[in-house]
Structure 1
Amino acid sequence: MHTAPRKNFLLAPGTLGPFILVTSLFFLWGLANNMTDTLLAAFKRIMSMSDFQTSWIQMAFYGAYFCLALPAAILIKKYSYKTGILVGLGLFILGALLFYPASLTLSYGYFLVALYVLAGGLSILETAANPYIVAMGPAESGTRRLNLAQSFNPIGSISGVLLSKVFILSQLNQLNAEERSGLNADELAAVQSEELTAVMGPYVGIALFLVLLWGVLYFTRMPKASDTDSKVELAATFSRLVRTPNYVWAVVAQFFYVGAQIGVWSFTIRYVMLELRLNESDASTYYMASLVLFMASRFAFTALMKFIQPKTLLFATAIAAAALTLVVIYGNGPAGVYALIGISGCMSLMFPTIYGLGIRGLGEDTKIGGSGLIMAILGGAILTSVQGYVSDLTQDIGLAFYVPLLCFLVIALYAFVAEKPEIAARKKEADALVTQPVTSVL
């Protein structure tokens, strides 16, 4: 007979192994996310594109997150978290393998299709893994537990940037757009073919590794989080969710957070190139420094949450990020670059904290509600495109950082109103369900 875990425990009994295995997935989508961020700089050179045109990479990537999150939630509610993880990982593999035929076509559009499929898999993975981690112990430590698991995401991010730096960015031909326009069609195709082969290589290599991981997950017995009902009643669920102010605010905040994060990271290399007069490969070193700070800060904030309320930390870091963004906009040279790196330290706790605060108290609506917080990742597509458009319109990439500045102010507002007393009753009732340990295995 199982008993509810004590509130000061981080994990429910018997869940350490599954926690480690699911946490490895956070590493993998960090790897894919940040390899994709570097593609904006790569395709700008390969295809001689504008900032707005390259932002379609993020539109395809995060648009897939929006489209697949709700179907993923329905899948895992009807079946299990493990089913969602296996389906998501399968699409991840397929999308990565599609980079091979895309590289043969020399077509930007085919790469966008491959990224869409890959990101659809990541959307399903995140929809399954985030609430699964929260369910692996007491509700009181759910946000801290998710921050711990998410701390391994930036390790993947750093690995992704390293792979891109060594195998993609360093392989780009340094001919600029004007010089490329002077090449004949065959010469240009030869240059682009070599560059796109370099883009393809790391993705196909990752896909082959993921096939092995898929097999391990398939044959591993995983705990199944308690759920009162596997029936999907979307109308009733949505009705309850939209009447929960804390949840609605969390979705809004997550939309703006992901828009800020992807905007900041997508244009970091471009900003550093302009301010420090570096090429893509050298500028990516500063991007990697941002991710190292992001990783270290996430572990630090996870520890601080034992002593400081998550929403208090969220408010403080949002205000600090806004202040640093002003330095990026109006500063120049090293000062602007260092401020840009500092923003990543502030952003480190935001996604898991908004997510953890947003799903608290949702009870049986957690899986569908969690999908809404993943769908909010669409902000990475829309707001990054807006940032690219502002950069092209003003011919000043610094001014484009007004977009993430607005985003950080919205996050600060959410932190201020998060978990107000009007949902306390529902949260108390639902927390009793969430604290039930995971029991059966798959």
Structure 2
Amino acid sequence: MSDVASNKSDQDGASGGFVYPGLLLPFALIVACFAAWGISTDLTAPMVNVFSSVFDMSAFQAALVQFSYFGAYFLLAIPAAIINSKFGFKGGVVIGMSLAAAGAFLFFPAAELMTFGTFLLALFVLAGGLSIVETSANPFVMSLGPEHNATRRLNFAQAFNPIGSNIGVLMATLLVAPHISEAVTKQGMSEEELLAQTSSELEKVMVPYIILGILYLSLAIAIAVVKIPKNQRMEETDFSGVEPGVFGRLIRNKTYSFGVVAQFFNIAAQTCIWTFLPFYVQYTLGASKSEAGWWLQLSLISFLLMRFVMVWLMGKFDGRLLLTIMCGAGVVFSLVGVLLGNVVGALCIAALSGCISLLFPTIYGVALTGVGKDTKFASSGLVMAIVGGAIAPLVHGRLQDATNPQFAFVFVLVCFLIVGAFGVYSMRHGVDLQAQEKESTDA
């Protein structure tokens, strides 16, 4: 009798807990991956400004950095889903981290060759690996505990991503930006002096990526050796096969389809904010590249703080409501930034990072709710939407070249409007996960 009661208690604990018993270490290692790929994403964003100076390019040309980086996410998402189907989520994370490490190490030969194209290739391989990691890690985290709090668990894991983001920007600000000369400074240099200066600058660009490669390889090894205990409830959500008609079912699922569109514009807004905020403060406030880097750091601190605030608020309010409210705030802040080219406008543009803090994991969790055995391919579709980060900087960069860095943030305003529309739609047609979690807790 006592054994029956004990088993029932264990089952209740497993169904009502945040993470299934015995899975805390794997959960912690996967959360570390969220922070690790945040370093790369936000180390790369300031590189648009850096490469525009090193290779003397327009904003549109320099935006090819983000096109190469986020384009890899689009191209590798479906292969990532196939890898997950064959090797599982854990295998996907290990393979992805290993490929990302290889891409990071490619920065060494790229710095020696001193051509923009080789850096784009290194970024593509790095981002391709991280595409596999994200396609695997997001649903992996959701499968490590009960479905009713899967979105909140993903928000918790994603809250560590901006820690990595801040580290990435700090690395760019301290290790790279101070060593990059303005284009005006190079105008009086001879060909030999210019070659030596370019070589020196590209070596500074290489250093943080070599550090990243070591980190990614270490994580790949750690995750490969850790044992994941069998858990029946986890296995119910970790499907190894793909049933026929998966793409048709996903397209007909309106919440999922709209979620993919919303994720595209969410990543579009995020990438443009972090890529073009330095240009904005240089244009409106006359800031130097180094000072602009600190503005980006401030913006990412707001992103970090709001992530944890939102995880707490999601325990009290529907995540879809919070998403809609934050998108509304994003529209207002974008408009103020476009109209006021001063410190107030710059603060509003910097605050946009706080507005996007909960968007990715909330869109991801809401869109995947109820897709069942199609989870792995559904996950790849949401990761493919990250291609918004490849296309949007080209649009924003072209708009900036045609007008100015201040007016170009109209594009970000439009992105917030579209994501906000998804929030409204999902509240009207989706499942109230917050209510589900309360019912489970009460039970």
TM-score normalised by the chain length of structure 1:
0.92
Give the letter aligned to residue 409 of structure 2: F
Change (3 A) 1:113 1:223: farther
Distance 2:126 2:212 in 1: 12
Structure-1 separation of matches of 2:14 and 2:327: 32
Aligned to 2:331: 322
**What is the deviation of 1:308?**
0.5
In structure 2, stretches of 5+ residues that fail to align are 1-6
Counterpart CA distance in 2 for 1:369 and 1:219 is 28
Aligned to 2:272: 263
Q: Distance in 2 between matches of 1:379 and 1:241?
A: 20
Look up the SS of the partner of 2:383 in the other structure: helix
Instruction: Describe how 1:274-285 pairs up with structure 2 within 5 A.
Output: 274-285=283-294
**Which residue in the other structure is 1:218 paired with?**
224
What's the counterpart of residue 405 of structure 1?
413
Post-superposition offset of 1:182: 4.0
Alignment partner, residue 345 of structure 1: 354
Residue 4 to residue 71, structure 1, CA distance change in 2 (3 Å): farther
Q: Could you tell me which residue of structure 1 aligns to residue 40 of structure 2?
A: 32
Asked whether the 8 Å contact 1:157–1:291 carries over to 2, the reply is yes
Query: Distance in 1 between the 2:220 and 2:119 partners?
Result: 24
TM-align CA RMSD: 1.9
Pairing of 1:36-435 with structure 2 (within 5 A): 36-174=44-182, 176=183, 178-223=184-229, 225-227=234-236, 229-233=239-243, 236-394=245-403, 396-418=404-426, 420-421=428-429
| Cα pair 2:92 2:133 within 8 Å, conserved | yes
Q: What letter matches 1:283 in structure 2?
A: A
Question: How far 1:52 sits from its partner (Å)?
Answer: 0.3
The aligned amino acid for 1:103 is A
The answer to whether the 8 A contact 1:74-1:232 is kept is no
Using the aligned pairs only, state the percent identity.
Answer: 38
Name the residue aligned to 1:15. Answer: 23
Question: Could you tell me whether the CA contact under 8 Å between 2:95 and 2:220 is conserved in 1?
Answer: no
Work out the CA distance in 1 between the residues paired with 2:30 and 2:145: 14
Deviation at 1:139, TM superposition (A): 1.3
Contact kept, 8 Å, 1:78 with 1:232, in 2: the verdict is: no
Letter in 2 for 1:265: W
Distance 1:408 1:314 in 2: 10
Give 1:82 deviation, angstroms. 1.1
Report if aligned partners of 2:88, 2:240 keep a CA contact under 8 Å in 1. Answer: no
Moved more, 398-407 or 245-254: 398-407
Q: Contact 2:72–2:131 (CA<8 Å) still a contact in 1? A: yes
Separation (CA, whole Å) in 2 of partners of 1:132 and 1:384: 30
The code of the aligned residue for 2:253 comes to: T
Partner Cα distance (1:21, 1:419) in 2 = 33
Task: Give the aligned residue type for 2:228.
Answer: M
Shift of 1:10: 1.7
Segments of structure 1 that go 5 or more residues without pairing to the other structure are: 436-442
Q: CA deviation at 1:121?
A: 0.5
Q: SS in structure 2 opposite 1:82?
A: helix
Counterpart of 2:284 in structure 1: which amino acid? E
Separation of aligned partners in 2, 1:238 and 1:123: 20
CA distance in 1, matches of 2:130, 2:271: 15
Matches of 1:8 and 1:300, distance apart in 2: 22
- 2:304 is aligned with what amino acid? M
Q: Within 2, Cα distance between the matches of 1:348 and 1:170?
A: 29
- The AA in structure 2 aligned to 1:187 is E
Q: Given the superposition, is the C-alpha separation of residues 125 and 191 from structure 1 closer, same or farther in structure 2, using an over 3 Å criterion?
A: same
Provide the rounded CA distance (Å) in 2 between the counterparts of 1:187 and 1:14. 60
Letter of the 1:405 partner, please give it: L
Q: Please tell me the residue identity of whatever aligns with 1:186.
A: E
Per-residue Cα deviation, 1:10-62 (whole angstroms, up to 9, x for no partner): 22222211111100000000000000001011111111111100100000000
Maintained 8 Å contact 2:296/2:350: yes
Letter of the 1:301 counterpart = M
Q: For the Cα contact (< 8 Å) 2:150–2:365, is it kept in 1?
A: yes
Q: Secondary structure at the match of 2:221?
A: helix
Shift of 1:179: 4.4
Q: Write the distance in 2 (CA, Å) between the matches of 1:200 and 1:408.
A: 34
Residues of 2 paired with 1:211 and 1:79: CA distance? 19
Aligned-pair CA distance for 1:398 = 1.1
CA distance in 2, matches of 1:75, 1:4: 33
Distance 2:402 2:298 in 1: 29
Q: How many residues align?
A: 423
Structure 2 CA distance for partners of 1:354 and 1:229, relative to 1, 3 Å: closer
After TM superposition, the score normalised by the length of structure 2 is: 0.92
Aligned AA (2:296) = Y
